[in-house]
Structure 1
């Protein structure tokens, strides 16, 4: 059971109720993490959703975005986010065997994706600090300067949800990850 209370999503009004209605209309349900964040910090959830809108309009593929989020979540040990981003990556077309390899810190066999994974793991491991060699490797893999901005944004929003879910001990409402 999550630590923070969440009101009945069907009856809540005000800013939280408006956000719940928007999310439900867009994706059919309100994930537990979004429900808890909106209940206690609707502006924070709006910021996360705005960042996701920016990412959706960017040049990173949805597969790359979810790969980034899964790698960060796995590094942080956030079971909720690992389940969520594993599921969302699968919906974006990442194959189950690739997802397993990502979670197990093994190469996927896709050179560009593996370069992204190594780069994001370095970001997570060294608090965002990368060497000249790490920078050269991600650039030579074909990622643009604009995509480095997008990688940074995906990283930042995922760290927020990882930390929040660890504080809240958010009940997982995505398919379990073996």
Structure 2
């Protein structure tokens, strides 16, 4: 049971109702995390959705975006986001075996994806400035400076929902992770 009281979606008014309507139009329903964020911080939800829109129009593939979000969510232990991004990763075309390896921070057999997983995991689990070698390693597999900006944005967006879900203990409304 989630910790923050979230009124029924149908009772939302004003900015919250508008955001929920946009989400429903786009994906068909309002996930629990968006419902809770929108109920208590519609401006925050709007910013997160706008940032996701920037990512969708940005330089990273949908598979790369879901890889990043899955690695970050796994590293910080957000079960809600791990479930969500496992499903979204599958919908983006990532194979079940690849998703399992990404969640475990293991090699998938795709050198570029593996470099992305290592890089994002390193950024998420260490402190301080990365070494030149670590930045050059991600560039060597083909990631551009523009993509490094988008990787940073994907991490930031995911960190927000991870932190919120850990505070709220948001009830997972996505399929269980296998």
- Equivalenced residue count is 178
By how many angstroms is 1:129 displaced?
3.2
Cα root mean square deviation, aligned: 0.9
Deviates more, 1:127-136 or 1:88-97: 127-136
Q: Secondary structure at the match of 1:10?
A: helix
2:174 corresponds in structure 1 to: 174
* Other-structure match for 2:60: 60
Q: How far is 1:59 from its partner?
A: 1.3
- What does residue 129 of structure 1 align with? 129
Change in Cα spacing, 1:116 to 1:175, as seen in structure 2 (3 Å) is same
Structure 1 contact 72–124 (Cα < 8 Å) conserved: yes
| Counterpart residue number, 1:79 | 79
Q: How big is the shift at 1:128?
A: 6.5
* Structure 2: unaligned runs, 5 residues or longer: none
Q: Which residue in the other structure is 2:155 paired with? A: 155
SS in 2 for 1:89: helix
The superposition leaves residues 26-63 of structure 1 with CA deviations (integer Å, 9 ceiling, x where unpaired) of 11000000000000000000110010000011110000
Q: Distance in 2 between matches of 1:11 and 1:118?
A: 43
Distance 2:128 2:159 in 1: 11
Aligned partner of residue 122 in structure 1, secondary structure:
helix
* Cα deviations by residue, 1:85-143 (Å, 9 ceiling, x for unpaired): 00000000000000011112210000000000000011001146321111000000100
TM-score, with structure 1 as normaliser: 0.98
1:23 aligns with 2:29: no
Whether the 8 Å contact between 1:33 and 1:170 is mirrored in structure 2 is yes
Shift of 1:11: 2.4
The CA distance in 2 between the partners of 1:169 and 1:141, in whole Å, is 37
Shift in alpha-carbon separation, 1:172–1:128, aligned structure 2, 3 A: farther
User: Which stretches of structure 1, 4 residues or more, deviate above 2 A after TM superposition?
Assistant: none
Contact 2:6 2:39 in 1 (8 A): yes
Q: Give the 3-state SS of the residue equivalent to 1:60 in structure 2.
A: coil
Instruction: Map residues 40-119 of structure 1 onto 2, 5 A cutoff.
Output: 40-119=40-119
Q: TM-score, with normalisation over the residues of structure 2?
A: 0.98
